């Protein structure tokens, strides 16, 4: 029986990458740290598109996954990003020899 | 190198931090009148049927409309068609509400100096070519616009001249550069991008390499006056269109490619002079053939939005930083660009889109307009 690899991704880790990407932007990061929930939509929270693209690049580098730019539009919240990254890691884990 | 490592290179990290403060800009484009003194070869404005609307000339209506745009989150307006200087009260009404933006003009009539928009003045050639490419509306050879522009906008720091390279005018830029530099102005470059179904002789055919060399020469010869980077020259003279290279995020192009986007893809609109818009014309140059698009306004959004396609190497990232730095200098009043960080190393950017999606977006159709 194949061993199941743990590919869970922490929401706090993802949130940390988002705020790292937002360093130096004009968005009020201090307020967002407390206000942004897992379900908050990035657009509604006023997070600009460069911050998001940088966030997606940092996710790729952190988790060593590819995030095609045509999928950016669906990654609208921390929750959606967490599910997406987990799904990607599961695909990678399944492809790796046990 | 990872993005983190790239940002640890002092020159790159500092430039990125400088640029990042300006990504709050949310723009849309507005035709403010259907009137123009000129009828230019390949003019985007008079292509298709979209311009055949009844102009709204009421400053009060424009003021109220701009207020709604502001509430929608738009903080930067581009007043572009057909000739905004012919409706100064409308321009002022827009400025009253959203005072951050750019007016694209032929410069034959001056805009009041207290309007603090950036002013882009179009230049199409020298004293021989310009009257030929830009005729009067009645078909007679047009005026040589540059001397009139320089007179109307002497010592005016709002101005950036925009020289549109076409298949016939590469060496004509010499005269424009001398005149603009001599007056202490600045100039950027555009590349003629054919409208759908265009038969214009100005469409770029076999002159892309020579154009690139001329751009490089201009950057080196007029470093103070020329707002253009080596990377700008490389991507705008690639054999691939900007859409093919990076995928255009404007709603019109994404809709044609059946793709979704974020940021500008969701907020950008292109309004007609009657204050209406349609989804399939939501693009900075709505009747351009996407597979031939090398337009400077399009590039400002297309390249700038694709950081993710510029982090695989230090050279790519340097190119992107230069491009965004140039974009901001061209469009944001008071922004000063830094030294070029990128030098062309012979490597051409590879296109993102496979061949079937390089086809043009569908031409604008006269659908019911929605405001």
Give B67→chain A minimum CA distance, Å: 19
The SS3 call for residue B86 is helix
Q: Report if residue A5 sits inside a domain.
A: no
Domain count, chain A: 1
Name the percent of chain B in helix, strand, coil, to the closest 5. 40, 15, 50
> pLDDT confidence of B370, banded at 50, 70, 90?
very low
Looking at the complex, does the CB of residue A25 fall below 8 Å from at least one CB of chain B? yes
Q: Report if residue A91 sits inside a domain.
A: yes
Which among B235, B228, B234, B246 is positioned nearest to B326, based on CA atoms? B228
Determine, for residues B2 and A61 on separate chains, whether the beta-carbon distance falls below 8 Å. yes
Backbone angles phi, psi at B279, to 5 degrees: -60, -40
CATH number, residue A49: 1.10.1200.10
**Which structural domains are found in chain B, ordered by start?**
3-359 (3.20.20)
Residue pLDDT, tens place only, B156-170: 999 999 999 999 999
Is the model's pLDDT at B332 over the cut of 90? yes
Q: Report if residue A24 sits inside a domain.
A: yes
- Residue B247 and residue B259 in contact, taking contact as beta carbons nearer than 8 Å: yes
Q: How far apart are alpha carbons B311 and B296 in whole angstroms?
A: 22
Q: What is the domain extent for residue A79? A: 11-95
Determine, for residues A48 and B23 on separate chains, whether the beta-carbon distance falls below 8 Å. yes
Query: Looking at the partner chain, which of A25, A56, A61 has a beta carbon nearest the beta carbon of B23?
Result: A25
Chain A residues with CB under 8 Å of B265 CB are 73
Q: Report if residue A6 sits inside a domain.
A: no
Determine, for residues A73 and B308 on separate chains, whether the beta-carbon distance falls below 8 Å. no
Average per-residue pLDDT for chain A: 88
pTM of the model: 0.92
Query: Looking at the partner chain, which of A27, A54, A74 has a beta carbon nearest the beta carbon of B307?
Result: A54
Chain B residues with CB under 8 Å of A70 CB are 247, 259-260
Q: Report if residue A29 sits inside a domain.
A: yes
Higher-pLDDT residue of B102, B139: B102
Query: Looking at the partner chain, which of A27, A43, A61 has a beta carbon nearest the beta carbon of B3?
Result: A61
**Chain B residues within 8 Å of chain A (Cβ atoms):** 2-4, 16-17, 20-21, 23-24, 247, 259-266, 305-309, 311, 352
Residue pLDDT, tens place only, B180-200: 999 999 999 999 998 877 778
- Cα dihedral sign, A84-A85-A88-A90: negative
Residue pLDDT, tens place only, A13-67: 999 999 999 988 877 788 888 889 999 999 889 898 899 999 999 999 999 999 9
Q: Report if residue A2 sits inside a domain.
A: no
Q: Report if residue A62 sits inside a domain.
A: yes
């Amino acid at each position: 029986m194949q061993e199941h690899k743990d590919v869970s991704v922490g929401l706090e880790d993802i949130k940390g990458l988002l705020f790292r990407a937002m360093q130096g932007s004009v968005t009020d990061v201090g307020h967002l740290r407390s206000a942004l929930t897992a379900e908050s939509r990035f657009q509604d929270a006023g997070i600009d598109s460069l911050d998001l693209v940088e966030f997606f690049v940092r996710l790729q580098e952190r988790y060593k996954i590819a995030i095609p730019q045509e999928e950016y539009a669906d990654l609208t919240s921390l929750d959606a990003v967490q599910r997406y990254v987990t799904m990607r890691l599961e695909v990678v884990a399944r492809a790796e020899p046990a | 190198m990872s993005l983190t490592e790239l940002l640890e290179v002092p020159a790159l990290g500092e430039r990125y931090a400088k640029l990042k403060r300006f990504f709050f800009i949310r723009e849309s484009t507005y035709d403010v009148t259907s009137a123009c003194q000129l009828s230019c070869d390949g003019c985007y404005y008079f292509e298709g049927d979209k311009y055949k609307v009844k102009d709204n000339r009421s400053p009060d209506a424009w003021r109220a409309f701009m207020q709604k745009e502001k509430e929608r989150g738009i903080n930067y307006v581009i007043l572009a068609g057909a000739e905004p200087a012919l409706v100064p009260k409308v321009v002022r009404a827009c400025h009253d509400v959203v005072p951050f933006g750019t007016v694209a003009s032929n410069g034959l009539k001056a805009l009041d100096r207290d309007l603090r928009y950036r002013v882009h003045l179009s230049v199409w050639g020298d004293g021989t070519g310009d009257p030929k490419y830009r005729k009067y509306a009645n078909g007679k050879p047009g005026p040589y616009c540059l001397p009139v522009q320089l007179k109307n906008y002497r010592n005016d720091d709002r101005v950036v001249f925009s020289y549109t390279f076409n298949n016939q005018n590469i060496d004509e830029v010499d005269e424009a550069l001398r005149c603009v530099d001599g007056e202490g102005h600045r100039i950027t470059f555009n590349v003629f991008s054919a409208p759908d179904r265009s038969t214009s002789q100005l469409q770029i055919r076999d002159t892309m390499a020579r154009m690139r060399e001329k751009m490089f020469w201009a950057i080196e010869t007029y470093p103070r006056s020329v707002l253009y980077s080596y990377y700008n020259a490389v991507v705008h003279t690639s054999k691939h269109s900007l859409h093919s290279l990076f995928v255009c995020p404007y709603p019109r192009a994404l809709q044609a490619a059946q793709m979704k986007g974020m940021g500008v893809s969701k907020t950008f609109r292109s309004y007609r002079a009657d204050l209406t818009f349609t989804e399939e014309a939501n693009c900075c140059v709505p009747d351009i053939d996407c597979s031939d698009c090398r337009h400077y306004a399009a590039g400002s959004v297309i390249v700038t939005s694709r950081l993710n396609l510029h982090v695989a190497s230090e050279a790519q990232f340097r190119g992107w930083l230069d491009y965004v730095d140039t974009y901001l200098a061209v469009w944001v009043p008071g922004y000063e660009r830094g030294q070029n960080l990128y030098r062309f190393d012979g490597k051409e950017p590879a296109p993102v889109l496979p061949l079937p999606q390089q086809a043009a977006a569908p031409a604008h159709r006269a659908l019911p307009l929605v405001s």
